[in-house]
Chain A
Amino acid sequence: MKAETKQLYDYILNKEHHKFRKEIELEFDKNMSPIERMIYRFEEICKAETPVILKGEEIAFIRTIKNIPDIFTEQEWEEIKEKHYIHELGYMSNLSPNYERVIANGLLKERENADEYGIRVIDAILDLVKRYKEEAERQGRYDVAGILEKIPAYGAVTFREALQSFRIIHYSLWLEGNYHNTIGRFDKYIYPYLKADLENGRITEDEAYDLLVDFFLSFNKDSDTYVGVQQGDNGQSMVLGGIDENGQEVFNLVSKMCLKASEELKMIDPKINLRVCKNTPLEVYELGSRLTKAGLGFPQYSNDDVVIEGLKKLGYTEQDARDYVVAACWEFIIPKVGADVANIGALSFPRVIDRVMHRDLKACTSFEKFTDCIKTEIKKSCDEICDNIKELWFVPSPFMNICMDCDIYDGGKYNNFGIHGSGVATAADSLEVIKKYVFEEQSVTADELIEAVDSDFEKHSELLPKFRFETPKMGNDIDEVDELAVKLLDWFADGLEGKKNCRGGIYRAGTGTAMYYLWHANEIGASPDGRRKGEPFGTNFSASLFAKINGPFSVIKSFTKPHFERAINGGPLTLEFHNSMFLDNDCVLKVAMLVKTFIGMGGHQLQLNAVNMEAMKDAQIHPENHRQLVVRIWGWSAYFVELDKEYQDHVMKRQEYVV
């Protein structure tokens, strides 16, 4: 990166821009409708924002109002929740807006089609832009002022204008209170601007790259104010590559530059997702692996061959399915027209096993009878989860609505709900224990098993090492146990099939866990696989944390067996390598080929991490020395030292059994 950008990079890293931040207090008239409150808040925050243009910064706009006051009091929320199901913070999140259209049209054109609320939002943005322009002029930054003169009021023409326009749109979405505002297929919609600039000689490739680096920094300026469950869980996921609506490869110069910029910056945002398929050239995988080597926990890979087919089976049109992106973590969503709530609930597989074991195991005369009960219980659990979601209500977000191609409140083209499935491996391993010892060998009775589990293996303690270490585990390519996982996922898909949700959509089964690998694990005690009370499940679609695993080949084989076309909500297999494995380019190439192997074998999604255990250990003791250490949590990357200890510990625990 060039010297000016490096200065800006250090400035942001040292959080020097935080000095411009202040808080705002707002009061809302009880008689104002929710949408009026939203507009009022947006206008007031825009007014309160102080234009700041940092030295050397080419893509402007930075948050100076750090808080977004809630439009409802706690009591008002209580009243709303009495009548409605509220998802998370109440906003429709995890959407992929149509930046392409808004950047191309400009806000004045969007204003022509907007309703009164949309008009007020756009006017507030344009007023803030005007003040930014004046500040730029005051500082003698005529480059910035010149651009703000044109965009976002009018459509962008140049690459820089398009980047600046994106920044303002994205910034405004956050300012409106929306969160997990994904970036979508950035290379696809931005490349035409770069191409035109290059063809007209307006910019060189090097200059374009420098701009892109500056632009990437913008994702890291305010992201600490976009907190999800933990710092870093902010949904700024960018999707690169893959096929377009017509089946043509998208991967282009912008995709390459993004991978390079991310590798160079080593910052947690934007989070890169790479869409690939079995025909994707090895070179793309190689570029991806080089980024993996940087240790940021991305790119995350998704397999077009599997995902598109899966989405089509769920009823998405071929064109829309081909345009899929990922939500904040890994849920597959459709940009522009999709109003899916891809993370509305979660099924805990181990909890199902736990319930059925306690209730039915003694009465079951065969393993098949037992698994019939499991199947029934999964269906029942699906019904419970789904029936609970009624009268879903969202806080209205007029600007987000402008940026989508559908009315997200009345319903988008797609209004499906995604349900995660946590602890698949823990559950499959538990079933294997029950099958092997209770039914086949009959060496352990149902009572003994239940006693052992209920006492956290204080009773029948000899069973713990046997179940934990000496019984086949998912992840070692052992059909006997892997097939149990395949069945669990099939039953999950069966359980949701045909159900309609309260917005007229369907339900989608998935392999993600989000934070449920901790939450669900704490809901139950020990489990029959030898997992002790309080021990977490694996993250997303991964082997149990203590399973002794043969290695990546076996893991890939085990985890590509399920019928993903039926469980395509998203949730990756996680493979973690010690960073010393990425010694040289030869190793990077070998890792790239392994990823290609996974895709060729029909895996749906892969999360590949280069992990530095020694650095993590030291960072717990001397956090001040490791401010830049990045780790992958469940669907996003974070600075290790900014995480709560339980999340730090889980990342480290994933490594414990790897020597």
Chain B
Amino acid sequence: MTGTIFDIKEFSLHDGPGARTTVFLKGCPLRCRWCHNPEGLKREEQLMVKTARCKSCGRCFMPCEHPECQLFKRCIHACPEGLVEISGKKIEAKELAGILMRNADILNFNNGGITISGGEPLMQWEFVEELIESLDCHTAIETSGYAEKDIFKRIIDKVDYILMDIKLADREEHKKYTGVYNDRILENFEYLKSSGKEYIIRTPLIPGITDTEDNLKQIGEIVGDNPWEKLKYNKMAGLKYPMLGMEYMIK
């Protein structure tokens, strides 16, 4: 099974217990306005140009013969600063598992494991399923909870730890700021509670959107006594938008 990933991050500290390696899967059904990983939104490969240090030498615009560059009409092998890249890499689940397990000794020693994040990993659930089955260590998934019930259940049952977002309690607000209603998410949360799995609910605190007293109170009621973490908004969140030729909606 082939999937598309856009990053592997070693020693991620905020993606579950212990020191972990997090793999980021490309593609997400949500369009949260504050998203800090915009390259995780589209499933397809994308051109990513780090413009900040670009000296406009024009070398990436020179025609080249690399098959991988043709789609973008930009050469990704020409930049002397290494600023032009393709975000998104197709990879076999077993091959990815092999790469991730290279550090299994370190992960085990640090009571950590592998976290599958995104994007929304459940968009590539078959790939995720095969990946988890090929990993011989503690596994965690970071999900928006936005997935078909059966798929959600199927994957949740296979991982050791779940980090799930509840961003907005109000149905309409959720639609307004993330592009989708939260019905599925709340329904899946019900399953999560009954699953017997270790999990944590997380809410990113976006000024004026999710950090309102009202929203936090309502989410508090939904979550109840279960583990809940509020994540501080990262001021650097908009950094990657210009690299993808996108505009960041949060000012």
Chain A residues packing against B (C-beta within 8 Å): 457, 461-462, 464-466, 468-470, 477, 546, 548, 550-554, 556-557, 581, 583, 586-587, 590-591, 593-594, 596-597, 600, 656, 659
Contact = CB atoms under 8 A, between A and B. Distances in A.
A550 B106 CA distance: 14
Contact of A593 (B10, B14, B19, B82): B19
A470 B79 CA distance: 11
14 contacts: A465-B78, A468-B82, A550-B8, A550-B10, A551-B8, A551-B11, A554-B10, A557-B103, A590-B13, A593-B18, A593-B19, A593-B109, A594-B11, A594-B19
Contact of A590 (B19, B82, B103): B19
The size class of the interface chain B forms with chain A is 20 to 34
B154 interface: no
A586 B53 CA distance: 35
B98 to A, nearest CB: 13
Interface in B95-124: 102-103, 106-107, 109-112
A468 B110 contact: no
Given A461-B59, A590-B110, A593-B19, A552 B10 contact: yes
Closest 10 CB pairs of A and B: A551-B10, A469-B82, A552-B11, A553-B10, A553-B103, A593-B110, A587-B13, A590-B19, A464-B80, A553-B106
Contact of B106 (A457, A461, A469, A556): A556
A157 B221 CA distance: 63
A553 B13 contact: no
Nearest to B18: A590
B109 A551 contact: no
A461 B77 CA distance: 11
Interface in B8-40: 8-11, 13-14, 18-19, 21
A593 to B, nearest CB: 5
Contacts of A557: 103, 106
A236 to B, nearest CB: 31
A586 B239 CA distance: 27
Contact of A553 (B11, B80, B82): B11
B106 A468 contact: no
Nearest to A656: B53
A583 B82 CA distance: 31
Contact of A465 (B10, B77, B111): B77
Nearest to A468: B82
A591 B18 CA distance: 10
A466 B10 contact: no
Given A469-B82, A600-B109, 8 more contacts: A457-B80, A461-B80, A551-B10, A556-B106, A583-B13, A586-B13, A593-B110, A594-B110
B100 to A, nearest CB: 10
Contacts of A469: 82
Interface string B70-96: 000000011110100000000000000
Nearest to B60: A465
A308 to B, nearest CB: 23
A554 B106 CA distance: 10
A272 to B, nearest CB: 23
Interface string B45-61: 00000000100000100
